[in-house]
Structure 1
Amino acid sequence: MAKKAAAFILVSLPVTGHLPVTIELAKRLMNHDRRVKNITILSWRLPFTSPSSSYSDALSRSHPDIDLVDLPEIEDPPPLDLYTRVAEAYIYRAGFLGLMKYLSERHRRVASEFDDRSCHELLSIPGFDRSVPVNVMPPRLFQKDSHEAYVKLAERFKDAKGILVNTFTDLEPHAIDYFSREENYPPVYVVGPVVNLENRPNPNIDPVEHDMIMRWLDEQHESSVVFFCFGSKGVLDSMQVKEIALGLESCGCRFLWSIRTNPMKDVKPYDLLPDGFMGRVTGRGVVCGWAPQVEVLSHKAVGGFVSHCGWNSILESLWFGVPIATWPMYAEQHLNAFTMTKELGLAVELRLDYVSGHGSVVIAEEISRAVRSVMNGGDSRREKVKEMAGLARKALMDGGSSFSAVSTFLRELLAVDPSS
């Protein structure tokens, strides 16, 4: 019987880090099975996001069978943080999927949101080997409206035909083992790491600044530079920027520091720095706006990454074998940081409980101590991270765990009806 051609529709969230991963998944599905002839990616638009024309142009040249379609702008949308962490039911990390399952089960027993009194509780959550502190759970679980949205979404998971998770067996073994034994839950396909490793077209990157960054890195010794970058929403106030600057001064390490500023205000990264800072660190540091994160992490000079612990950033750092110092800020990032530090021992804990916009400040001494630890804390952690990088690549090879999971997913999805 001839194999039938298939067309897929994928939906990407209107967030900087999600579209490249959705594109990467589309490419992987098409490369994996010749029956997948066309994939259309629908990209929502919100008032505070830009259209995906740069991605569309690049795709049309390199992958003519992938169509990227911008949907009409949504008026009066819910807060972005609610969209990015409650609506993303397509690809999860396995640990976060365990949290969603726990929420659904807890709601049937307790039927109330978390409150401040429970912040020091330790919870037994499916897929975690250790008890999980409540204070590393998504902050919006403590807000009534968003808590209810999480619960409603979690309740619907059991109705799915299947769930793809962007992780790999050796990274989250407890979660994957747990879901593999669950009989009353949809099949979970472990297909990661799904990471976009190509240069990402982005209008925020100044070509001159990009070339300056890469030339400076070329001049540095191997694993000598710590990279500070907090994602597309990692905008810090002037007080926190000052503490980072003081921490970098005192630790003595070479650094590349990406400072995001509010696009609605005419503020440049250098405007936030303490007076005289760049003069005092002449030659051993670069401050920039938007940094080409994948290119930076893949550079031999980069030996540490102070990160907000978004899942894409974690997978990219592991892929290139760069140890992380954790500085989670919002959404599920605290849970990601907990996994990396407490569950896996792959990262240095800078903070686990910082919440962006709540007035807390990480002081210079904490920052300096964590940077020294991630850069000079011995070879054991670095070797462990490099070992995980090898396991990530192995998972994607023919016969690897994630390769096989994609095969199973496509085989079951595209199975020909015997009655036809």
Structure 2
Amino acid sequence: MLFLGILWMTSWIGSFLSLSDNLSPSWNTKITPTETVSNLGNLVSKHNPLDVLSQQPINTWSTALIPTNYLKINWGTQKSLSNLDNSVKSPTRVVQHSKKQLCYSLVENADNRNILEKSIHFASAELIKTRSSPRNFLPDKILGSLQDFFRFTNMAQQSFSAVTSPVILVRRDRKNYEVWVNNRVVANLPNEMQAKSLQTRLSQLTALPNLDANQLRPALVDGIPALMAGNRFLFGIEKQISRQFNRSGDLLAIEWINNLRSAFQVPTLTLLEAQREMYGLSASNVAMSGLASWYGGYFHGRLTANGERYNQNELTVAHKTLPFNTYLQVTNLKTGKAVIVRVNDRGPYIPPRSLDLSREAARCIQSEIAGVVPYKAVILHSKQPTMTLNPANLKTDKLKPRKQLALVADF
């Protein structure tokens, strides 16, 4: 009798826990803003001997990322299933060059595209589960224990705290982690530790009650391209990250800031606006013109005239006489495209050329294919104080006074 009583009790509890599964869709809690799905193709294109309720998404941490327009589809209708089935049977969808991608190559050669310029497939990806808040109430603890013991799944009650959070982390592969904010990809990072660091900072940012997204901007902090919210430091793009993706750290910072501004629905910055903000520059009355060429792979990694290693992915330029570290705003007179570059080398020595741009700078003004283009350049002056995270780095030089600013690193 005792055994039958225990069996009856466990059956009753199981029926109670799964009650919401049998309710109509209108009674079930809607999970927003996203629902993760697993093996969608198998569900709609293959016969399944088990009864599957069309109104119930299948919840799993090993997810398949799908385009955001799918998230707006009512999966329970026959029309929706037909559209989904067509998308599964169709060739793999790819994302072409995004307009948010700055200074990409116009040369249609897949071997020369870097890891971020390659097409991104909507293949399987893993959602990195973050720690959810612990259950503080005794009924929640009992319910959770019973669900774990009897392996019951309550669709309506499952929290999806990591998915519904405004900031989530997705692993595409071993060396590609995506940080999402408000259903938008903000940044790609090569390892999980760096990605989690950015995720934590952005989670703290989104929790601020008086966040002004218009203050999101790029900057140089201790010489490193960084993401800033006003004078609050968010994340620095170390050289390791830029080398991993073969991209300029300056351009990555600008792209990520623009992605973040888009996620908060504020206007993005143009390349020149972002560069002027990052370097703290203003135009002078000194201008020049002539022909500009560019140099790339053969010189990549070699010493420049100022002692740096030439990096064809950075925004630099060679000039015969201008002082090193002079900033120039160079405009391609054929395309109207402009970019800000820093003088770190001497040349060119083939007349009548007067500027030799890095390959990345040439891509920014769309002169990579032409090779040599007419240009106009304006010398820029620095107006922004040096920014640092460590107040101990602030130095006082009586002979050469320079404005310095200690930033806020904590929320």
**TM tier, smaller:** under 0.3
Scaled by the length of structure 2, the TM-score of the pair is: 0.22
Richer in helix (by share): 1
Scaled by the length of structure 1, the TM-score of the pair is: 0.21
- Structure of higher RCO (CA pairs closer than 8 Å, 6+ residues apart): 1
